[in-house]
Amino acid sequence: MLFVPYFYAVNQLPKPKKPKRTVEQKQQENLAKGLPKNYGLPWAETDAQQVIEKYQANVAIQDIASDMARKSSSIVSLLKKHDIISEQQVISMGIRF
């Protein structure tokens, strides 16, 4: 049973920290991967409000996503989080996230 203490000891060693990437670096990585520029980044409150306003002005989800450099599923998720759309509406849109 020599392996158990060894693995325990190895897991207790401090792990090297990855350097924090800037928002700009993350955006460049997203573009290099063929993803929308802001994919996976947190929402700024002003951007979230802009999405809500555009949706309420009947702008298409795909157009909002393009304007905000996000995926359509991200827009739908934000609208659902803010109780602008219901689960039933999400299902009827056929957008999976």
Q: Using N-to-C axis directions, what is the helix angle for 72-81 and 45-56, rounded to 10°?
A: 90
Q: Which domain holds residue 56?
A: 3-93
Residue pLDDT tens, the chain, 97 long: 455 566 666 677 777 888 888 999 999 999 999 999 999 999 999 999 999 999 999 999 999 999 999 999 999 999 999 999 998 988 888 876 6
Write down the pLDDT at residue 5: 64
Joined tokens for residue 42: 């947190």
Mean residue pLDDT across the chain: 89
Please count the structural domains in the chain. 1
Angle at 67 between CA 64 and CA 70, to 5 degrees: 75
pTM, two decimal places: 0.76
